[in-house]
Amino acid sequence: MIGKVRAGFRDTPLGPAAVIWSFGYLLLDAIAFLIGRAAPGVTLLASLPMFALGVGQTIALNHLRTGPVLQSAWLRWPALVVAVVAATAVQTLFDVYWMRFLAENLFPAWQEWALDIDLQRLLTVGFGYAWTFCLALTLLAAMRAAQDNARRAANAETEAANAVSAALRLQLNPHFLFNTLNSISGLVTLDRKQEAESMIDRLAEFLRASLNADPIEDVMLAHEIDTIDAYLHIESARFGDRLEIQIDLAPGTEDAKVPNFILQPLVENAIKHGVSALQGTALLYISAAREGDMLMLTVVNSSPESNGESSRPPAGTGVGLANSRQRLANRYGGKASLETGPVGDRYRATIRMPFLT
């Protein structure tokens, strides 16, 4: 509650207007003390009604300047000048007659100067108030311009991050499509037409799920797993019994929101560097679990290094993993991470991200 009040005071015209008028009356109190007119704080207390009136009129003037009533600049500025003159006159008359009232009833020592209301005093007091109103309106205009610029910059940054995420997400499909078409071509060359037709059907199913999804929108984990399952159906046609797939989703994780296609590069890397590099059966294990307010997505595959059959490239050198890390950074900042590395005779990639539903 206190934070909301503080933010409202800071981010609305009330805060700057109150600061400007407070500074003006503090300065007036200091001058009154230095010339021996009143003890410290007395003039400041006496000025509280004028302070409230000044802040109120400043907010009203600012509303006139920014409101929809005066749309045309040719009309706005003359009307604003007239309004400032009127506000200055009201503030000046209230000041001199309020001080006269205090001199007559509470502070007899002030009668020497407060009872004398002439043109010179009115002009002097009026000039000070006109200056204060103009200064306040200028600072409020500058503050609003700064807020508008900050808002536009934030929107531009968000749009740029979304564009980058979309571009990174869409980079995945051509790589996968190239590999799949090569596989289909190989099946046709080997006269395995039925298998080639089956792979084409599964490819169409996968591309339909992929292209219908917004690349920058989050999806439910269940939907992500369905898309991965369609992808794995294609790979199963390539590897047959050599590919053993296990998917384990902890209860309650299916409804978690995840970036669209965030698992695709991890699964694709597992196929490329694990299953493809092994001569025998390879395991691909996909799991999801919740740890507090974090979601853990894990992809584990058999590693060819354990059998001395092949060597795996260093973690993070591929486009897929680099893109995944960048997408996580764009979406969650430092709250998400992607860690890869060997675990025993297997290789594991783990994504940590906030658990959101």
- Residue pLDDT, tens place only, 30-77: 998 998 888 999 999 999 999 999 999 999 998 888 876 656 667 778
Sign of the alpha-carbon dihedral angle for 68, 74, 78, 84: positive
- Token readout for 273 is 């560097």
Our CA dihedral for 198, 201, 206, 207, rounded to 10 degrees, sits at: 140
User: pLDDT digits over 211-267, tens only?
Assistant: 666 556 788 888 888 888 877 877 777 677 777 888 888 888 888 898 877 888 888
The most confident of the ranges 30-44, 146-160, 278-292 is: 30-44
Mean pLDDT of the chain: 80
Question: What's the pTM value of the predicted model, to 2 decimals?
Answer: 0.51
Q: Which helix (H) or strand (E) holds 213?
A: none
Q: In what order do the strands lie in the sheet with 294-302?
A: 243-249, 282-291, 294-302, 346-354, 337-343
pLDDT for res 105 = 92
Give all domains of the chain, ordered by start, each with its CATH number: 2-161 (no CATH), 171-354 (3.30.565.10)
